[in-house]
Structure 1
C-alpha cells in the first residue's frame, strides 16, 4: 500500500530543493489583489523527473505513469504551503488550487516515445509521452473553462455556500466535463448550479502535428503506400501561439481519447514544447533547383510552374493560378516579427464562379 504521507513529504522536499516553493510564494503575491476573486487559482510547477526519482523512486514513477495522481499530490502540498504561510487569504479549499505540472523532459526510452509514423490504435495508459513532428495546421486562439464553482440549490445544505464544489479542466477532458447542469451535491445529492461570476477562462489553440517524413512529397520522392495520419495537439494558456506552421517541434504531452460519437479520435494535451533544430526544412530537392535555373530568365515563369504543380490535384489545370500562388506564398512566408505570422489565414477555395474568389 502506497504511503501518501511519505509521497507528500517527498513532494515538499523536491519543491524546496528545486526552488518551487520560492516560485509559489512569488506567484501568490500577484493574487493578493482584493478586487480579484476567482474560484480557481492556477499554478505552474516545473518538474524534472530525474531529480524526482533521485529523491523518491515511487514519486518519480507516479509522475511518469500516473500524472493525475501526481498532480493531486503536488496540489495537496501547494495548498498546505499556501495556508500555512498565509500566502493567499482568498484560497479556502484545496480544490481552488489548480496545479499544472510542466515536465522538463522524459527518459530516453521507447515506452515514453510516441512515433507519429506508428500511431497507436488502441487504448493505452494516460501517461506523458515525447514526440517530434511538423506543424501543418493550426486554429486561432479561443477560450475554454479552466475552472468553475458550483453551489447546492438546497439552502439548508452546507454546500450552498463556500467553495466545496469546484471543477477544473484535466488533460483529455472536454468542455462538458467541466461545465454542465446535471451535477449533484456530494452531501445531499441535490442539483448544483454554477456561480457564473466565479468562472475562470483560459486560452486554447488546436494544432495539427504530422511526422516530418510526410513532407517527402515536397522533395518529389516516389510515393509509397504509407499513409501518414496527423494528430491533434491541444495548446493551452501560456503555450498558445508558441508554434508556427511548417516548423519542427519536440513536444511532451499526454495522449487521450476524445469521444465524439460515433467516432473516437486521438488528441494530445501539450505539456512542454521545444523547437526542433534540424536541417531538414532547409534542404531543397535537386529537381527544384534545376527548375529554378531553367526559368531564371523570367521573373514569373518559376512561380507560375510551381503554383500550377502545387494545386494540380485540388483544382483543374490552368485555373485559379493566382489563388494557388497566394496559398503557396502564405505557407512559406518568413517575417522578422514572429507574432505577425499568427494573424494570417490560409484559405483553399474550389468553385466554378471566379467572381466569388475575386471578392
Structure 2
C-alpha cells in the first residue's frame, strides 16, 4: 500500500515539474506574472487564468503530461491549477491569503491531434463513443441555429453555517464551473463542510456570472451532402454545442467552425441528451493558396488565356460566351452568363460587395436552368422551397438555457455561396420585404417578437455574405397600359416594387435583342433541346457537349479566380466615381434619379470581379470601362434609353460574334472610353 502511495506521489511530482517547465519554456509563466499584476490592483474572489496550449508542444516536451491532457482533461486542469497556485504563493504574486479554490484555470487548446475513429465527431452517433472515453474531441461543421445570449454561474462561494467551524470563515469552499458540467452540478444545496460535515450555504452576493450560448452545428460532411442534393429533402441531425465566455463573440449563424471540446450529458425533462462544450473554436477559412490552384488550372484555359492576352477584354468575354454551353448554346443568354460569372467571383470587402443578379425574360425554364447551373460552382449554395425562411425564425429555446432560439434562414446558410430564390413574382409580400431589406441594407435581419424578450421587439442583424439570384417573367404591371407606345419606355418588370429591383446589383434582360437574333436563339435552343433528348443514355445522364472549356474546367477556374485579391488603381476608381455622379445627374427627374444609390459600389464590384476573371493583380482602367459599359447596358434595358448611346446585346449570335469579341470589340471599347470621358467632363463642367 505504501509503495502505491509513494508511486502516486512520485507520479504527481513528475506532473508538477513537467507543467512548471512547460509554463517557463512556452512563455506562459511571464503571462501569468503580468496577469497577476493586473489582479493585484483590484481584489477579487476568483482569479481566472486562461492559457493557450499546443498539445503537440506538451507531448514533445513530456509525453506523459501530453497523454494526461488529451485523455484526462479535467485531471490535467487540476494539475495546472495546483502548479499555478503554488507559483503565486512562492513568488508572492498576489497580496493576502489565497486558497486553492480561488484559482481558476482554463486551458485553451490551439489544436488537437486527429484520430478519426477516436476523437473526431462526424455525426451524433460519434458523441456516445467520445463521451465514454472522456477525452477532447474535434468537430467541424456549420452553425445552423443559435440561442440568445444568457448567463451561467462561473463561480459561487459557500460557507459553513456553524460560526465556530473553520469553514465559516475564509474562502475554503468555492465552486468553479468545470468543462462539461451543467448549472445544476455547479450550484447545489447538498454540499457539506469538510471540517464538521454540516450543510454549506451559498453566499449569493459573491456569485460570479458569465455569458453562454447554445449553437446547433451540422457536421461539414453532412452539410456538403445536403448542399449537393438541393432538390432532395435530406436533413442531418444537428449537434448542440455550449459556447462560453469570450468565445460567444466569435460565433455566427451560417459560418463554418472547427471546434475542440468535451462531451457532456444533459437531462431535459424526460430526455437524456449528449452535447458538446467548446474548449476553443476558430472559423474555417475556405481560401486555398492561389499559387497552388494555378498549378491545377486546365491547359485549355491557360491556352485560351495566352491567345487572348493581347486584348484586355477578350478573355473574359470568351469565357462568358462558352459558359453554360451544356444548358444553352454558346453565345445565347450571353449577358446573363457574364453577370453570373462575375457574381461567382465577387466578394464582400471594404469597397466591394457580392453581386446579386435578377434575370428578366420570358423563357424562365432556360433562365432557371442557367442559374441553377451556376450554383454548382459554390459549395454553400441553397435553393428556396416552400416552407423555408430567408432570414430565419425564432422559437422557444429547446435547451432551457435562454429566452429564445434563432434557427438560421437560407441567407444565413448560404454564406459565401448563392441563395437561389427562383421566381420573385411568386414570393409572398412578407418574403419580398425581407429580401428587399437584405439587399438594400446588406444585412440579414431576424425579428424577435416581444413575447420572447418581455419588452419591445428586438432585431438580430448579421452581414449578408451570400449572392442572391432570381428571375422574373416580363409582364405588364397594373399601372402600365398595354397600348403604351413610348419608344423610351423601360422594360416590363411586373408589379415588383422598384425598391426591390434597385436592391439587385444587375438586372439581366434576356428578351431585348433584335427580332432576327431572338429567332435565331430560339431555333438554336430547340435544336439543343432535341439533340440533348436524343443523346440521353439509359441512366438519364446527358452526354457532355464538346466544348473547348468544360464544366470541370470552369469549376477549377472559378475556384482560382475567387482567391485573387486585385488592388484598385486610382484612375479606375476615379473613372467609376465620375461616371456614377454624372449618370445620376443626367438621369435625374423631378421625382429623383433612375440610378440606384448603391450603383457606385456595384460598379466597383463589377470592375473588381472583371479583374479577377481576367486574372489580373490590379483593377485597371480597362476593368472599370467594362464595368461601366455593362452597367450602362443594364440601365438602357431597364429605362429605355442610354446617355452614352450604348446598344445592349443580350445574345451573341454568329452574325455579331466578331463585333462583340476580338479586335473589333477592342476598337469599340476604345471609342467608348473617349465618349465616356467627354460625357463626364461635359456634365461636370470640367475639361477633359
TM-score (ref. length: structure 2): 0.43
The aligned counterpart of 2:85 is 79
The aligned counterpart of 2:187 is 179
Work out which of the residue numbers 107, 119, 125 in structure 1 matches 2:126.
119
**Residue 138 (structure 1) aligned with residue 146 (structure 2):** yes
The aligned counterpart of 2:274 is 266
Distance 1:324 1:217 in 2: 23
**Unaligned runs of at least 5 residues, structure 2:** 1-6, 289-323, 328-335, 341-356, 373-382, 390-424, 450-688
2:81/2:104 contact within 8 Å kept: yes
2:124/2:239 contact within 8 Å kept: no
The aligned counterpart of 2:665 is none
Matches within 5 A, 1:150-161: 150-161=158-169
TM-score (ref. length: structure 1): 0.79
Choose 132-141 or 5-14, whichever is displaced more: 132-141
**Structure ranking higher on relative contact order (CA contacts 8 Å, 6+ apart):** 1
**Residue 31 (structure 1) aligned with residue 94 (structure 2):** no
The aligned counterpart of 2:360 is 297
1:148/1:168 contact within 8 Å kept: yes
**Residue 223 (structure 1) aligned with residue 229 (structure 2):** no
The number of residue pairs the alignment matches comes to: 325
Give, in angstroms, the shift of residue 33 of structure 1: 2.5
Distance 1:295 1:202 in 2: 46
Give, in angstroms, the shift of residue 261 of structure 1: 3.7
**Residues 251/188 of structure 1: CA separation in 2 closer, same or farther (3 Å cut):** same
**Residues 314/56 of structure 1: CA separation in 2 closer, same or farther (3 Å cut):** closer
**Residues 37/82 of structure 1: CA separation in 2 closer, same or farther (3 Å cut):** same
Distance 2:439 2:178 in 1: 35
The aligned counterpart of 1:196 is 204
Distance 2:204 2:238 in 1: 37
**Residue 41 (structure 1) aligned with residue 142 (structure 2):** no
Give, in angstroms, the shift of residue 104 of structure 1: 1.1
Give, in angstroms, the shift of residue 106 of structure 1: 0.9
1:245/1:331 contact within 8 Å kept: no
Match of 1:80, SS state, is helix
Cα RMSD (Å) of the superposition? 3.4
Residue deviations 1:81-135, cap 9 Å, x none?
1111111125511111000001111113222211137534464222111110001
1:91/1:97 contact within 8 Å kept: no
2:159/2:169 contact within 8 Å kept: yes
Match of 2:250, SS state, is coil
**Residue 257 (structure 1) aligned with residue 364 (structure 2):** no
**Residues 143/90 of structure 1: CA separation in 2 closer, same or farther (3 Å cut):** farther
**Unaligned runs of at least 5 residues, structure 1:** 281-285, 349-359
The aligned counterpart of 1:321 is 428
**Residues 157/263 of structure 1: CA separation in 2 closer, same or farther (3 Å cut):** same
Matches within 5 A, 1:201-216: 201-212=209-220, 213-214=222-223, 216=225
The aligned counterpart of 1:355 is none
Distance 1:11 1:260 in 2: 38
| Regions of 4+ moved over 6 Å | 328-334
**Residues 231/26 of structure 1: CA separation in 2 closer, same or farther (3 Å cut):** same
Distance 1:104 1:314 in 2: 37
Distance 2:103 2:439 in 1: 43
Give, in angstroms, the shift of residue 233 of structure 1: 1.2
Matches within 5 A, 1:56-67: 56-67=62-73
Give, in angstroms, the shift of residue 272 of structure 1: 1.3
**Residues 332/53 of structure 1: CA separation in 2 closer, same or farther (3 Å cut):** farther
Distance 1:72 1:189 in 2: 24
Work out which of the residue numbers 316, 327, 345 in structure 1 matches 2:446.
345
Distance 1:41 1:63 in 2: 22
**Residues 279/22 of structure 1: CA separation in 2 closer, same or farther (3 Å cut):** closer
Highest CA radius of gyration, 1 or 2? Answer: 2
Match of 1:197, SS state, is strand
2:142/2:223 contact within 8 Å kept: no
Residue deviations 1:280-335, cap 9 Å, x none?
9xxxxx89x99x9896128xx99xxx9xx7351369xx998233356668899996
Give, in angstroms, the shift of residue 67 of structure 1: 0.4
2:160/2:167 contact within 8 Å kept: yes
Work out which of the residue numbers 4, 17, 20 in structure 1 matches 2:12.
4
Work out which of the residue numbers 170, 173, 181 in structure 2 matches 1:165.
173
Distance 1:331 1:101 in 2: 40
